[in-house]
Amino acid sequence: MLTSVACQDCSVVFKARRIDALRCEPCKKRHRKEYLREYDHGKRRGQCVDCGSETGARAERCLVCSNKYAGRRRSGEHNGNWKQGRTKNRGYVYVRVHPPGHKGHPYRAEHRVVWEQTHGKPIPKGWVVHHLNGVKDDNRPENLAAMPRHEHHSHPREALKPYETRIRSLEEAAR
C-alpha cells in the first residue's frame, strides 16, 4: 500500500511504501553518500609504511601493500608448516640452503650437500652421488660415493662392491 509523503530534504511529495519514510529516492542516495564520506573520513587516520597512502585507523599498511607483504610474512620459519628447512620427495631428503627471496630454487638434495661439505669441493659436472646401502635418506658421509653418471648406471658396478660390503658390515656391527 503506497502512501504520499513529503521529503524531509527537498519537500517533494512522493509515494512511499512505509509511512515513516523520510526522503525521496534521489535525496536518499545523496544522504547515504554524504554519510559514508563522513564516516570514512573520520576513520582514515594512518599512512602506509611502504607507499605512504591512506590506511585505516589501526592498519600499518594499505590493502595493496598488505597483500604484497603477506607472502613474505608467512614464508620460511614464519609458516605454520615449517619443518626446519627439511623436506622429503621420492625418498630423498632436501634441505633449504638459500634464504627466502633468493633467485633459484631454495632446496638442494641433502646427500649432495653432505658430500660437498665432506670433500670440500663441488660435485663435478656429470657426476652423481650414490647411496652405497641403497637407502635414499641415509646421508652419512661414509654411505655416499660420487661417480660419473655412466658408471653409476653400469650393471656390474664393480667400483661399488667394496663400499657396499663395508657398509653392510658396519650396519651389522651397529645392530
> Does a structural domain hold residue 13?
no
> Does a structural domain hold residue 17?
no
> Does a structural domain hold residue 116?
yes
Q: Which residue has the higher pLDDT, 73 or 29?
A: 29
> Does a structural domain hold residue 73?
no
User: E strand or H helix at 96, and its extent?
Assistant: strand 92-96
| C-alpha distances out from residue 41 to 31, 34, 54, 156, Å | 15, 10, 10, 80
Nearest to 86 by CA among 110, 116, 105, 102: 110
* Mean pLDDT to the nearest integer, 64-73: 81
pLDDT digit string, tens, across residues 93-102: 999 988 777 7
> Does a structural domain hold residue 20?
no
Domain count, the chain: 1
Domain that residue 110 falls in: 88-174
> Does a structural domain hold residue 11?
no
What pLDDT does 82 receive? 81
> Does a structural domain hold residue 39?
no
- pTM, rounded to two decimals: 0.51
DSSP state of 52: -
What is the overall mean pLDDT for the chain? 85
* Mean pLDDT to the nearest integer, 58-73: 83
> Does a structural domain hold residue 150?
yes
